[in-house]
Amino acid sequence: MPPAHPLDAVTHPDPYSYYATLARSRPLYRDAALDMWVAAHPETIAAVMRHPAARVRPAGEPVPRGLWPGQAGELFGRFVRMNDSAAHARLKALLVAFIQEQEQEQEQEQRLDPARPLPPAPRDAAGIDRYLYDAPVHAQASFLGLDHTLHADCAAEINRFLFALPANADAERIAAGHAAAARLMARLQANLTGPCSKPALRRLNEDAAADGITPDLVTANLAGLLFQSCEAGAALLGNALVMAGRRGVSEPLTRDVALALIDDVVRHDPPLHNTRRFMTESADIGGQRIAAGQTVLLVLAAASQIEPDAGWTFGAQRHACPGTALARRHAADALLHLLRAGTDPAALAKRFRYRPLPNARVPQFDFQEDSNS
Ligand code: HEM
């Protein structure tokens, strides 16, 4: 059975011919059942992304309702990913410059010490499921320059924060999300600011201050880099394991081969399948009128079927992902680490399902047949 609709496709075993047909035959349409517009072709997706009325959050809900008021909501509301406006553009430019400079510095450090800081390799399927979500945060925490003793705590806080986001999160999860956000901010403030920080971070803080951006907003967005890396990184690594298993890939594996496999995952089984925009005013796009207040689902995985090498899974235009190169390298390193520690991807690829998520395609290897979470 093909997927019933583009949200169903995210967890479908093989949605890609459905996505290709969607992109070609229904580039932009209103889906009455989903109560959303759907853009599925590179041109219509780009046109929506470019439109000034298309925002990353609904006008009346800058932060998910359940998170407000509280520290998790405050943190979420500060992420560049969740903001439009001129302030977004300035902060985004600083973050992009920071990531580039830090990448150059790290490259030199790694030549001296190639050991990558990753969590210990897991022994069973449940451990792999946790590793998928932890490893990208460990790698990103290391990238920010945090001491390795802090990586596991960062991963735990980001995961608690992440679990508080869904609309159906209960009071306990939300309280844990607020506490995690507060601890994370305190940890980053204590360890990433001040005279001891690395040159790229010092420059980020100085440039932000010169631009009138508060230190709190910078710190929140460093937490944002940890957050952005987590679920998408889990999806990239998980789908890489599945692809490695199906292709019979095993050790010994070079880093270049691992990177090439990650690139194939980005092309053929991407980690993020869609994102959304919320229209603040009515807009004429692709010959159709989208009314103010409507949501548009941008089906990135469908656009990939038309332009497989464009990296659609990382978005485009104003909110394009600044972490593409890092995500690719971190996933390749984590894959190598797992395979070298004896993980058997062929066994994993034989039995898994996808987590019931609306946009990330994350395989889950440890589950009961009849459970749904
Ligand atoms: C497999 C891994 C990743 C995928 C698939 C991914 C995908 C995306 C996508 C699709 C967007 C744009 C969302 C939209 O326009 O609605 C985005 C934004 C963003 N990503 Fe990534 N990402 C990944 C990893 C990372 C990493 C490792 C970082 C950290 C350096 C990062 C940082 C960001 C930030 C800060 C934004 C917001 C940019 C903005 O709003 O201007 N991402 N990412």
Average pLDDT of span 23-48:
98
Average pLDDT of span 322-345:
96
- pLDDT of res. 113: 58
Average pLDDT of span 162-188:
97
Q: Tokens for 331, please give them.
A: 């996933």
| Dist CA 187 CA 146 (whole Å) | 10
Say yes or no to pLDDT of 372 above 90.
no
Atom of ligand 1 nearest to the CA of 82: 40
| CA of residue 251 to ligand 1 center, whole Å | 30
| CA of residue 332 to ligand 1 center, whole Å | 17
Average pLDDT of span 153-179:
97
pLDDT in tens, 287-304: 999 999 999 999 999 999
203-227 in b/e form (b: 16+ CB < 10 A) is bbbebbeeeebeeeebbbbbbbbbb
| CA of residue 321 to ligand 1 center, whole Å | 4
Atom of ligand 1 nearest to the CA of 81: 40
| Dist CA 188 CA 72 (whole Å) | 15
- pLDDT of res. 116: 62
Q: Whose CA is nearest to atom 12 of ligand 1?
A: 315
pLDDT in tens, 245-288: 999 998 889 999 999 999 999 999 999 999 999 999 999 999 99
**Percentage helix, strand, coil for the chain under 3-state DSSP, each rounded to 5:** 60, 10, 35
pLDDT in tens, 97-148: 999 999 998 877 766 555 567 888 898 999 999 999 999 999 999 999 999 9
- pLDDT of res. 78: 97
- pLDDT of res. 111: 61
Atom of ligand 1 nearest to the CA of 88: 41
What's the farthest any 2 CA atoms get from each other in the chain? 59
Q: Whose CA is nearest to atom 40 of ligand 1?
A: 81
- H or E element: which one contains 264? helix 255-268
- pLDDT of res. 292: 98
Say yes or no to pLDDT of 13 above 70.
yes
Q: Whose CA is nearest to atom 13 of ligand 1?
A: 315
What are residue 28's DSSP bridge partners? 39
- pLDDT of res. 373: 54
Domain ranges across the chain: 6-24+34-364
210 contacts 97 by C-beta, under 8 angstroms: no
Atom of ligand 1 nearest to the CA of 315: 10
330 contacts 229 by C-beta, under 8 angstroms: yes
- pLDDT of res. 109: 72
- pLDDT of res. 194: 72
Average pLDDT of span 211-222:
96
Q: Whose CA is nearest to atom 27 of ligand 1?
A: 229
| CA of residue 65 to ligand 1 center, whole Å | 23
| Dist CA 338 CA 351 (whole Å) | 18
Average pLDDT of span 167-190:
97
- pLDDT of res. 293: 98
Average pLDDT of span 30-56:
98
Q: Whose CA is nearest to atom 6 of ligand 1?
A: 314
Using DSSP's 3-state secondary structure scheme, residue 371 falls into coil
Q: Whose CA is nearest to atom 33 of ligand 1?
A: 321
**Ligand 1 site: residues with CB under 6 angstroms?**
56, 80-81, 92, 99, 140, 224-225, 228-229, 232-233, 236, 271-272, 275, 313-315, 319, 321-323, 326-327
| CA of residue 296 to ligand 1 center, whole Å | 19
Average pLDDT of span 292-321:
98
- Of the candidate ranges 105-119, 180-194, 197-211, 324-338, the one whose mean pLDDT is the lowest: 105-119
Q: Whose CA is nearest to atom 30 of ligand 1?
A: 323
| CA of residue 111 to ligand 1 center, whole Å | 27
Instruction: Classify domain 6-24+34-364 by CATH architecture.
Output: Orthogonal Bundle (1.10)
Which among 100, 137, 321 is the best mutation to test ligand 1's pocket, defined by most ligand atoms within 8 Å of the CB? 321
